[in-house]
Structure 1
Amino acid sequence: MKKVIIIGGGLAGLTAAIHLSKVKVPVTLIEKNTYPKHKVCGEYISNEVLPYLDWLGVNIGQLQATAISKVHFSTNNGKSIKCELPLGGFGISRFTLDQYLYQKAKDMGCLMLNASVENVSFADEKFAVTLDTSEVLHADIVIGAHGKRSSLDMKLDRGFINRKSPWLAVKAHYELDFPDDLVGLHNFQGGYCGVSKVEGNKINICYLSDYESFKRHRNTAEFERNVLCQNPHLKQILERATPVFEKPITISQVSFESKKCVEDHVLMIGDSAGLIHPLCGNGMAMAIHGAKIASEEVFRYVSDPQYSRKSLEHNYAYYWHENFSKRLKTGKGLAKVLQNQYLSNVLMEIAIRFPSILRYIIRRTHGKILTIENNAT
């Protein structure tokens, strides 16, 4: 039986580990961090993935996720619009979800290694994965699920890694009287902020800002007070919110550049394959969907001796682009509009007069309900 190594135990990596373990493919997952752990993330997932999660045996209801059915969108000048989410979604923290998925994958027989990957090489139809312990693992397939940026990207000489990105992301949990069924997407000068409830009656506030705007201020508190609070909706939220975290968590160099979803024969999934702007609110669903596509193709490769590596890589890339390229393009376009205050105000005026415009944009950044292919089992 062919063996698979997954590098990275975030949402995409854990989902692929559970899928492949379910169909009896031997999997080793390598993750440098321990669970549970908070991550910078919007923590909203579209309901499009629920049938697939059910098939995996992932019980979201058990995690007390919040049901979300409405979106509230506002511009920096305070103009806003609300509408129903076409499919709806749910709010769940990465702290809780990743821990649950980790235990699920482990219980299903996936071998979990707490280590960092130093190098990946491919020769004679086999991968050699070198760990920071100097141990070398061998596999027939390697799936890259190592996130937005990694030293592994440098080892693979991926194009985007050598170019600086102007984006910084900040996330924290708060106590706040906020509707259970609402996700807020609020524009401010130089960025945008998502607000929604997760399990435990906590509110996740996560925002993305260009670094040039952020560095003019001494810290996140000053930046939020002087920049985010220019949007009256965000001001009302932040002034009422009581922090749960000792301090917010941040990541820099967040890149939205195009990436190859197959790199030196490694199948990339999740943020390693491509990152959608957070204002589109659907990165977590994309990570889960991408893991599904990769897992189905890997299962076919493992099960069918006539299915070549070339076909595996070609078909995975085709299905990945077929499902996500339009979403990524829409996200980039929308981000450019919202960075321009004049254009964002024009868009809001149009959306207020024609609410169907906002629903159209939401549909462009979300997928259809996931179904399970017959060959998945």
Structure 2
Amino acid sequence: MSRVDVALGERSYAIDIAAGTLDRAGDLLRPFAKRGRFAIVTDASVAAAQLPRLVASLDAAGIGHDAIVLPAGEATKSWAHLETLTDRLLELEIERSDNIIALGGGVIGDLTGFAASILKRGCGFVQVPTTLLSQVDSSVGGKTAINSRAGKNLIGSFHQPAYVLIDPTTLDTLPAREVRAGYAEVVKYGLIDDAGFFGWCEANGAALLAGDAAAREYAIERSVAAKAAIVADDERETSGRRALLNLGHTFGHALEAETGFSDRLLHGEGVAAGMALAFAFSARQGLCPAEDAARVAAHLTAAGLPASLKAAGVDAPGAALVAHMMHDKKMAGGRLPFLLARGIGQTFLAKDVDLAEVAAFLDEVR
């Protein structure tokens, strides 16, 4: 089993990665069952595919459990489902010393983490991510949130998990589209500051998407280690380094908003298109070689991910997409920082981007 540590002082925690860990989760999670019982939060799709494995391992370890099954989909990250979840957790008499299990993808992890952060002014939770996107990104780092009418992840808190348990075999039951969407976040780590890893993605991405177990486990471990290092250095995004993890997200969230935060465009698909747009805009600004922008778009397209507005199914004017960006939580002093690039593996935070130029660029590539 591979272990990655997130070094945050008294809030430090371990991330364990290995095939089959869900089937022995009872033994691995025992130290976090403070009163010999867990509340498990999951969604209907994961409940059918993975909950029986977790329940069997908890039963074998003599750990009690209650499952709360929510609807699957981005719409579950809402005030209504947050209320449903917290009410149910209170009915189960969850205490501040307890840990709640988040079993699922990014939606369940974000929602459960946020509920844990506010329930009785804060209780614990452990992440058991079941999608590639959540395994390489959202389960690590403590960002929790729900969506609002104004935009994505605008209501939330920083609340670190007590432990993260990753079993890559959960990916075997996912639709291919979900795996591709998660792969966008793997590519992101290469584009941020590791050109060598992007090269690995170009060489091995097809195998990973086809189900190669070794490629998947390597990509997960490499991605998690990269994120853990950034989070340990800048937990609350105060120095600017953690902002690098948002590569593609400013454009991507605008595309998600335009498509109604629905299955028309999955989060990872929005990030993929957003990263391609960030590189294309960087090239247009003379910051990045056009060849690098083309290389990024080509790899994302080869992976079956959208790398343009058209491929993302978006035909909105630039001004409309920029209007969505104005609700971005990173807005400060009336200006919106953008993640741009000087080349593959050379992402940087630009705080002087003219939104009118962004709108004009989006109209140009529309």
Normalised by the length of structure 2, the TM-score is 0.24
Where is the helix percentage greater, Structure 1 or Structure 2? 2
Normalised by the length of structure 1, the TM-score is 0.24
Where is the strand percentage greater, Structure 1 or Structure 2? 1
Greater relative CO, 1 or 2 (CA 8 Å, sep 6+): 1
